Structure 1
Amino acid sequence: MKKLTKSRDNKMVSGVLAGVAEYFGFDPTLLRIIYGAATLIGVGSPFFLYIVLAIVIPEAPRSNQPKNPTSYGFNSGKKRPEQPAARKEAEKVKEEDWSDF
């Protein structure tokens, strides 16, 4: 059984719109665009509705494993580096070569 919760993986402010989009099975970006347009037009005070939903809708339970263990960061899609990059050493400069005057 599906339960309406705030998203933990795809949140911009509090995860309300992403949670609603995940519940109904469509793209959260599309819902954000529609919601932003409705806020600008002022149809039904969506700003206050968002605040109420952020308070009322429970947060999704934490999971021990990330959904995609090869990615890190907020929707970055980048893979973790296997080994850290080697540090470069700076060139030594003679005392008289660096003056700006």
Structure 2
Amino acid sequence: MTYALVRRRPAAAHLDLPTFAHATGLHPDLVRRFTVLGLLEPVEDARGDWWYPVAQVAAAARIQRLRAGFSLNYAAVGLVADLLDRIAELEADLRTRSRRSGD
């Protein structure tokens, strides 16, 4: 078994909770709520601190747009976001197949 002599912090492409909250314009408590609901996906370090990949800033903006634009509750926001992701995957797959077949 090996032990790290120095605690590693996630790469610079990750933001801590206060920085992420500031970047998204969300209150840190709301960021925590989104994380617990599974709407945001941070990386957890050895201490249990959450570090948010920079790409999660776009996910937070999407959550805000869905909530404001459609007056969805947070559970519905998660469902709609998952469905939109699945649609995007299917459309990308369809485009790839169309290119291969020469259509």
TM-score, normalised relative to structure 2: 0.27
More strand, by proportion: 2
More helix, by proportion: 2
| Higher Cα radius of gyration | 1
TM-score, normalised relative to structure 1: 0.27
